Amino acid sequence: MENPNASQGEVLNLLNLFRPWHMVNFSKIRLGSPNDGGYVLPALALESNLLVSIGIGNDISFDEEFAKRGAQIYQFDHTIEAPPYTHPNMHFFRKGWGAVASEQLMSFDQIVDVVDWSNARHPVLKFDVEGAEWGGLNSMNPEHLARFEIVTAEFHNIEQIFYRANYELLFSAFSKLSARHVPVHLHVNNYQGVTLVSGVPVPCVIELTYLRRDCGVFGGHSTEPIPGPLDQPNNKMAPDICLRPF
């Protein structure tokens, strides 16, 4: 009978899927809020003219950075009436992201379809959807994900991989992300903690950034400390969570 829980080896295999790699050809920058709402990206993002931002809440500092540089921003969030403020380059849809379309949700295929790709340059995908990412990622067309050169996001409930069904869901999602993209930056959200799963310390919520494989030159796994020099604690009232010390 199969063990209903993930083994230590399986947990380590999953964590290895988002172990960051060193970018030879790009430095890193931080865009957005200095705390929660900001993300660390390859400097290539400064040349982007298209951002798809899924899950925006009341902080659109990240989106604003792109809009000020002339990028077109497509925003999706069904939990708010409207963004806290607007910009001529921002296009808001009161729809969330789901594995399948519904009255409140759009599939990833539908989201991609409403975007004007005619002059897209170095497109960026950002999402923070409080756990809905797992169903959304597993149901998406990989070719649509491959349109984006940079992907940055929050990933939630990772400690739930203790249960085999959740482990398989997350392993499938991270495998899909890794097919065309390479993880290049990892930061732990300190609003949540770290949980031992089969003897392995597993962060509950992480911020992770990917670069498409054909856009980068990668020099092996990164030895940069986690948190890195551009990271800030999401909760500024508490210390950041250290995964790899200096």
What pLDDT sits at residue 4?
Answer: 82
Q: What is the pLDDT of residue 210?
A: 98
Decide which of 35 and 190 is more confident: 190
Q: What is the pLDDT of residue 245?
A: 84
Q: What is the pLDDT of residues 188-227, one digit of tens each?
A: 999 999 999 999 999 999 999 999 999 999 999 999 999 9
Q: Average pLDDT for residues 115-135, to the nearest whole number? A: 96
CATH of region 8-221, choose from 1.25.40, 3.30.70, 3.40.50, 1.10.10: 3.40.50
| Beta-carbon count within 10 A of 141 CB | 12
* Alpha-carbon span 173 to 76, nearest angstrom: 21
Q: Are strands 50-54 and 124-127 parallel, antiparallel or unpaired?
A: parallel
Q: What per-residue confidence (pLDDT) applies to 2?
A: 64
Burial 208-238 (b: 16+ CB within 10 A, else e): bbbbbeebbebeeebebebbbebbbbbeeee
52: β partners: 74, 125
Residue 1 confidence (pLDDT) above 70: no
pLDDT beyond 80 at 110: yes
Question: What does the alpha-carbon distance between residue 153 and residue 184 come to, in Å, rounded to a whole number?
Answer: 12
Residue 3 pLDDT grade (very low, low, confident, very high; cuts 50, 70, 90) = confident
Average pLDDT, the chain: 95
- pLDDT, position 35: 87
Q: Give the residue from 62, 21, 39 showing the smallest Cα distance to 183.
A: 21
Tokens 């962060």 map to which residue? 203
Alpha helices in the chain (DSSP H): 8-17, 61-68, 108-114, 133-139, 142-145, 164-180
Q: How far apart are alpha carbons 1 and 194 in whole angstroms?
A: 30
Mean pLDDT of 97-125: 96
Report domain extents, the chain.
8-221
Residues 61-73 have pLDDT tens digits of 999 999 999 999 9
Q: Which residues fall within 8 angstroms of residue 235, CB to CB, at 6 or more apart?
A: 35, 36, 190, 191
pLDDT in tens, 162-185: 999 999 999 999 999 999 999 999
What integer pLDDT is reported at residue 246 of this predicted model? 74
Please give the pLDDT value at position 95: 97
Structure tokens at 205: 């919520």
Percent residues over pLDDT 70 in the chain: 99
Give the residue-averaged pLDDT of 66-88: 96
**Structure token digits, residue 177:** 């992300």
Tell me the pTM.
0.96
pLDDT average, residue stretch 102-117: 96
The span from the CA of 18 to the CA of 21, in Å, is 9
Mean pLDDT of 143-162: 97
